[in-house]
Amino acid sequence: MKTFILAGGFGTRLSEETLLRPKPMVEIGGHPLLWHIMNIYAHHGFEEFAVALGYKGEMIKEYFLHFHDLQSDLTIDLESGTTKFHEGERARWKVHLVDTGHDTQTGGRVKRLGRWVGSDREFMLTYGDGVADVDIRALLEFHHRHGKLATVTAVRPPARFGSLKMDGDEVTSFAEKAQTGEGWINGGFFVLDRRVLDHISGDETPFEGEPLVRLANEGQLMAYRHSGFWQPMDTLREKNYLEELWNKGKAPWKVWP
Task: Give the Cα separation of 221 and 209 in Å (integer).
Answer: 13
When pLDDT is cut at 50, 70 and 90, the band that residue 169 belongs to is: low
Instruction: Name the pTM for this structure.
Output: 0.89
pLDDT the model gives residue 18: 79
- The neighbour count for residue 205, using CB atoms within 10 Å, is 20
Q: How far apart are CA 61 and CA 63, in angstroms?
A: 5
Residue 223 and residue 184 in contact, taking contact as beta carbons nearer than 8 Å: yes
What local confidence, expressed as pLDDT, does residue 166 receive?
57
Tell me how many degrees the CA angle 200-153-34 measures, rounded to the nearest 5: 80
Segment 188-216 shows an average pLDDT of: 96
The proportion of the chain whose per-residue pLDDT surpasses 90, expressed as a percent, equals 74
- Whether 159 shows a pLDDT value over 80: the answer reads no
Q: Domains (ranges, CATH) in the chain?
A: 3-247 (3.90.550.10)
Among 13-22, 90-99, 170-179, name the one with the lowest average pLDDT.
Answer: 170-179
